[in-house]
Amino acid sequence: MEREAIRRRERLYVGGEWVTGPDTFPVTDLADGGTFAEVAAADADAADDALAAAEAAKATLRDTTIPQRCEWLQAIADGLRDRKTELAEVIVREAGKPISSARGEVDSAAERFERAKEEIRHLKGEYREGTTSGHEGWEAIVKHEPVGAVLCITPYNYPLATTALQVAPALAAGNAVVLKPASKTPVSAAILAEIVDEAGLPDGAFNFVPGKASAIGDELAGDDRVNAIAMTGSSGAGKHVAYESGMVNLHMELGGNAPAVVFDDADLDDAAAAAAKGSLKYAGQRCSAVSRVLAHESVHDDLVERIDAGMDDWVQGDLFDEDTDLGPLISESQADWVAELVDDAVERGATVVRGGERHEQADGVHVFEPTLLANVPQDARIVDEEQFGPVCAVTTFDSDDDALDVANRSDLALDACVFTSDYDRAMRMAEYIDAGAVRINGAPSHGLGDIPFGGNEDSGIGREGLDSTIHEFVRKKSIIL
């Protein structure tokens, strides 16, 4: 059945008011091609207005109570669920995500607002007594207070769920928010701004400023009125923001290049299924994707055969078809990048077991075939560089030390996974692999944020998660009696 494309025009939301920007930018329809939304582009003046509004709201927000904030969080969660159908369709079109996954993202975002409500109820102060010489009889109340204003910089791959993971803890902790969404996927965030507007927060508590990072990124990140920055994005962009930001709390989840280390005693069916899913989910455009499979040389061929069979179950097609698992890449430039890494691996001797080709499916819609590369040399770029594409690249190792060397060679250290039936080996590898999280006998997954996650080295600063992020957005004050 032919569908009528959505046509939307989105505005900025600053200081409790909807305003137009001096210019607009288009959002590509990754389901049907062409443009489905025109979004106001904030300039430096609009960014300054948003920062001023957040600054003005700090005092009011600081005086709010946890029950008040919990009411806002629940109202936002309810609003997301009320507009689930609309939001899911928007995510399909702007992010190129299959409809079943898009619905799941809306559910996850709503639940994150609800869970933030529960987590903030557990944030309690402390009572301490002086125990050192000269401080006898001292008593102190240690309380939490909001840091002030949080700049949220969100990615294109989970435009609503990741936004919720930043915005919900910031509001729960009593901070003002300035949201700068990814330019490729700002429409779902615009709908979130409408829902926040209806929830009755004080003016300036939430500000929505879409626009090009080149135009407003430095203006936002480098301003003294920002007290904390939450960012999910590439390592390069994260380094730039960190350079510009100065003395603020940085809370960053950046690039990933997760290895799946498969030993000769692993359950190969489980490992193959995890490798296929970890590589192909959302066309590999996830920081926690399985970016490279390190297989013991004795099981390489068997594992590749099983991964190949598992990829048969992944359907690439109409994004509004319930059976579709795979969509397009976010842009032509991303397709170019994935093709560059695949070509490099093949030139160095890798074997293309399946896929390896790209296609322009419609105007602005670029699809990369589900791809499996075998016998990938360890010196291929795809072993060390983040790909963000639907490619499972399998290389080999011959010993535990060799596996560790390859796994830890990249500057990206976000996630990893290990497949083995040997408990001691699993724990030893988990201890020595340089990553923020290592999963045993399963693909990396961040879930809703119950377990802290984040990266080492170039993969980030701090740990995300609802409770963890709330603690990043408050500071302790000691009142000494």
287 is catalytic: yes
Q: Is the dihedral of CA 132, 138, 144, 147 positive or negative?
A: negative
Q: In this structure, are residues 470 and 449 in contact, taking their beta carbons and an 8 Å threshold?
A: no
Q: Long-range contacts: 123-130, Cβ < 8 Å, 24+?
A: 123/66, 123/173, 123/470, 123/471, 123/474, 128/478
The two tokens of residue 428 are 């030893």
Of residues 459, 425, 416, the one with CA closest to residue 275 = 416
C-alpha 369/C-alpha 353 separation (Å) is 12
H helices then E strands: how many in the chain? 15, 25
Query: Three-state DSSP class for 282?
Result: helix
**Displacement of CA 51 from its chain's centroid (Å):** 24
Exactly one of 287, 385, 386, 464 is catalytic; name it. 287
Q: What are phi and psi of 381, to 5 degrees?
A: -60, -35
Pairing verdict, β 228-232 and 249-253 = parallel
Give the DSSP per-residue string, 171-197. Answer: HHTT-EEEEE--TTS-HHHHHHHHHHH
Contact 392, 371 (CB under 8 A): yes
Q: Name, in order, each residue with C-beta under 8 angstroms of 480's C-beta and a sequence gap of 6 or more.
A: 138, 139, 140
For residue 209, which of 362, 2, 414, 45 has the smallest C-alpha distance?
Answer: 45
Q: Is 253 a catalytic residue?
A: yes
If one counts every other C-beta atom within 10 angstroms of the C-beta of residue 480, the result is 11
**Which DSSP state fits 283?**
G
What angle (nearest 5°) sits at the alpha carbon of residue 407, between those of residues 403 and 412? 175
Q: Among 55, 253, 464, 472, which one carries the catalytic annotation?
A: 253
Backbone angles phi, psi at 56, to 5 degrees: -70, -25
- Which residues belong to the active site? 253, 287
